[in-house]
Amino acid sequence: MTERESLRGIGFGRMHRGLPQDSPWFFRVVLRSRGFLIVTVVITVSLAVIAASNPEWLLRIDQPVSEWVRGWGGQPSLAKVVTRLGSPSLVVAGGVVAFSALWRRCRASALTLGTLIAAALTVDIVIKVIVDRPRPPNPAVNTEFGSFPSGHVIHAVVIFGLVPFLLWILTNRSELLRLGFVVFAVVVLSVALSRVRLGAHWPSDVIVSFFIGASLLIGAERLITSTWATDHCASLGHHPPD
């Protein structure tokens, strides 16, 4: 019996190091919480039903907030640059690069990444078509399909939410991990505000999109830190060897 099997036998479960204890609470605890996953599903389904059946109710809150954000001074040129961080083309391109970097070192993580990106793109389009919520009037950018949810925010959460995990997996350096958390927070908030500023989405669209992206991240995190990934990536920092 190996040391790994012995430790599992006495209840240690998964044999991976996981994220360090000084990681932000959201990533270290919430992503492993079934309760948070349930909350994300409930919020997503509830807002989707309201947006599809009674969008006027949401507009009572969305409209004044949207008008306030869109009323910020100056041309929306900066918002147009920021919003590209969640564009499908950038997501696919970044995914290909990350997939290639991971493939030789950890195929389990590479496959998880590819599945996550495909899921994010699919979920965005499917929900848009089903809900079919009208966009805000006079958007400053070209738009397709409905307004609910925001694909840009989903993509930003998924891609930049994986940055800390990938940095930790590939380098095992906690300072880069913490840098990844900062990048994630700044990019997601900036993309969400840019979508409202440009009139591409209502505020409730970007809020629910965060929860959709977070729920997809939960699934990816569980795969990356699963026994299956551990058995295939023992040489990496995230998965210590036997």
pLDDT score of 190: 92
Contact present, 47 and 201 (Cβ < 8 Å)? no
Tokens of 110: 């590479």
pLDDT score of 27: 59
The pLDDT of residue 78 is above 50: yes
Q: What is the mean pLDDT of residues 216-225?
A: 73
In this predicted model, what pLDDT tens digit does every residue of 85-142 receive, in sequence order?
888 888 888 778 878 877 777 777 778 778 888 888 898 899 988 888 888 888 878 7
Domain boundaries, the chain: 3-55+74-232
Q: What's the CA gap between 113 and 172, in Å, rounded?
A: 18
Instruction: Report which of 228, 194, 237 is spatially closest to residue 82, judged by C-alpha positions.
Output: 194
Average of per-residue pLDDT values in the chain: 76
Instruction: Report which of 229, 230, 228, 225 is spatially closest to residue 241, judged by C-alpha positions.
Output: 230
The pLDDT of residue 76 is above 70: yes
Neighbours of 65 (CB within 10 A): 13
* 15 — pLDDT class (breaks 50, 70, 90): very low
Higher pLDDT, 105 or 45: 45
pLDDT score of 154: 93
pLDDT score of 3: 35
Tokens of 211: 């929860």
